Amino acid sequence: MKKKIIKTACYSFGTIMFLLLVLAVHIYFVYRPSADAYTKVMARIDIKQPITLEDANQITSFMAHEKGIDHVLVNPQTSIVIFTFFPLKNTGNAIVNDFKAHFPYKADRFLPDAESLKHSCPMAASSYTYKVYKFIANII
């Protein structure tokens, strides 16, 4: 009887460990970023001077015709251009360089610093799944 209980406990422990390993590998591969044909990236251009509504319309028209751009929003009040693009078709830096070459504006691509990225999504850092992912990533 005692032998049967120990054998069952060993099999149960082994099964649980195997399932935890499968879960860890699954979480690692799900959270690992990889670009595919459906991946979209959002980027922002800060224009360092005021623009008019007409300028905003010209910028929207130009950006909409750039290779790989999916959607463009231009806010003339804040002089900010926000766009989404497919990273397999074009890069954010190439789009910004084309923008700078086409328009006479003083403009720069907005890139958050490491501190901003660290605190960018309060939900991700506190979620249980994210903590499990970070634990597994540190092990691997």
Rounded to whole angstroms, the Cα distance separating 115 from 112 reads: 8
Dump pLDDT digits (tens) for 12-46. Answer: 999 999 999 999 888 888 777 677 778 888 999 99
Pairing assessment for the beta strands 41-47 and 107-109 based on DSSP bridges: antiparallel
Structural domain harbouring 24: 2-32+120-139
114 inside domain = no
16 inside domain = yes
Dump pLDDT digits (tens) for 70-104. Answer: 999 999 999 999 999 999 999 999 999 999 999 99
Angle at 76 between CA 70 and CA 79, to 5 degrees: 80
* 90 and 129 in a common domain: no
Q: Is the pLDDT of residue 115 over 60?
A: yes
The lowest-confidence range among 7-11, 84-88, 109-113, 121-125 is 121-125
Place of tokens 């099999």: 11
Q: Is the pLDDT of residue 60 over 60?
A: yes
* 97 and 67 in a common domain: yes
Which helix H or strand E contains 45, and what residues bound it?
Answer: strand 41-47
